[in-house]
């Protein structure tokens, strides 16, 4: 039975299910429990970024690249939470210099997905971005979505990626609805450090679209030294 720190709590359009990602406190390996957890289970176990979960975890035998983190997670229980210093160290252990470097692929400028068939080495990474180079924006076409644009460590700009970080999305959406979405961006830009958890969706091809692959999304937005208490507990 191992101990794992939750690094991601990812929302779906279906509010009854949640995707989480965790990092083994001993090895630093990332895991994504499958099947997805029910929202009521997330509430029961007090699962949030920074939570410590204990349980039996094993990688699935039929792993499908790039989602090599998929695993079964049984006998799970809540075992407390890490402080912000430890949470930052967990993010540092999983850090990649850039989006391309983390996934091990070349991504055309302006492209928001990795093509099916490209040999991406994993489905979720951590990168560090300059706070002033991250912006939070409303989706021009879908009021149920919030977007992020950022520049990574290689100097490449990624524009208008979907934010699937559940806590941050709920906060940002609240302020979008009351006309204060810029409050989220201003807070992020006031911090010294920003870490992003950038993930890949399951394989998807938009209708009437030749693009087929795994879409980039922002699974987690973590700021230091401060964080919004409306959003975080780490």
Per the structure block, which two tokens stand in for 227? Answer: 């964080």
Select the highest-mean-pLDDT range: 86-100, 179-193, 219-233. Answer: 86-100
Whether residue 134 has pLDDT greater than 90: yes
39: cis peptide before it, omega within 30°?
no
Q: What is the pLDDT of residues 52-75, one digit of tens each?
A: 999 999 999 888 899 999 999 999
DSSP assignments along the chain, one per residue:
-EEEEEEEEE--SSTTEEEEEEEETTT--EEEESSPEEHHHHHHTT--TTEEEEEEEEE-TT-BTTBTTEEEEEEEEEEEE--HHHHHHHHHHTB-SSHHHHHTS---TT--EEETTS--S-SEEEEEE-GGGEEEEE-SS-TT-EEEEEE-TTS-EEEEEEE-BHHHHHHHHHHHHTT-THHHHHHHHTSSEEEEEEEEPSSB--TT----EEEEEEEEEEEES---TTT---
**Between residues 208 and 140, which one has the greater pLDDT?**
140
Closest CA to 66 of 111, 18, 99: 99
Q: What is the pLDDT of residues 211-223, one digit of tens each?
A: 899 999 999 999 9
Mean pLDDT, rounded, for 72-85: 95
Distance CA 42, CA 38 (A): 7
Q: Residue 226 — very low, low, confident or very high, per pLDDT cuts 50/70/90?
A: very high
Q: Decide: 103 and 120 in contact? Cβ < 8 Å.
A: yes
Closest CA to 152 of 206, 119, 194, 182: 194
Q: What is the pLDDT of residue 186?
A: 87
Look over the chain and give the mean of its residue pLDDT values, rounded to a whole number.
Answer: 91
User: Which residue is associated with the tokens 């009021």?
Assistant: 143
CB atoms within 10 A of CB 71: 18
Distance CA 35, CA 87 (A): 25
Closest CA to 55 of 84, 20, 83: 20
Mean pLDDT, rounded, for 118-147: 89
Q: What is the pLDDT of residue 96?
A: 97
User: Which residue is associated with the tokens 């490449």?
Assistant: 156
Q: Residue 140 — very low, low, confident or very high, per pLDDT cuts 50/70/90?
A: confident
Q: Residue 234 — very low, low, confident or very high, per pLDDT cuts 50/70/90?
A: low
Whether residue 229 has pLDDT greater than 80: no
């Amino acid at each position: 039975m191992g101990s794992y720190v939750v690094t991601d709590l990812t929302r779906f359009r279906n509010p009854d299910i949640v995707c989480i990602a965790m990092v083994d406190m001993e090895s630093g390996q990332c895991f994504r429990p499958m099947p997805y957890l029910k929202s009521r289970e997330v509430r029961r176990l007090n699962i949030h970024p920074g939570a410590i979960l204990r349980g039996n975890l094993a990688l699935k035998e039929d792993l499908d690249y790039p989602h090599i983190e998929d695993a079964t997670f049984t006998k799970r229980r809540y075992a407390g939470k890490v402080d912000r210093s430890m949470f930052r160290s967990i993010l540092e252990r999983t850090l990649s210099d850039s989006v391309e470097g983390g996934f091990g692929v070349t991504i055309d400028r302006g492209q928001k997905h990795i093509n099916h068939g490209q040999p991406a080495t994993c489905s979720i990474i951590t990168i560090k971005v300059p706070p002033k180079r991250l912006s939070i924006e409303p989706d021009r076409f879908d009021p149920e979505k919030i977007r992020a644009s950022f520049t990574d460590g290689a100097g490449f700009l990624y524009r208008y990626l979907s934010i699937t970080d559940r806590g941050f999305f709920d906060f940002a959406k609240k302020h979008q609805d009351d006309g204060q979405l810029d409050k989220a961006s201003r807070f992020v830009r006031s911090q010294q450090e920003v870490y992003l958890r950038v993930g890949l969706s399951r394989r998807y091809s938009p209708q009437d679209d030749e693009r087929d692959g795994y879409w980039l999304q922002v699974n987690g937005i973590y700021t230091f030294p401060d964080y919004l208490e409306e959003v975080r507990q780490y």
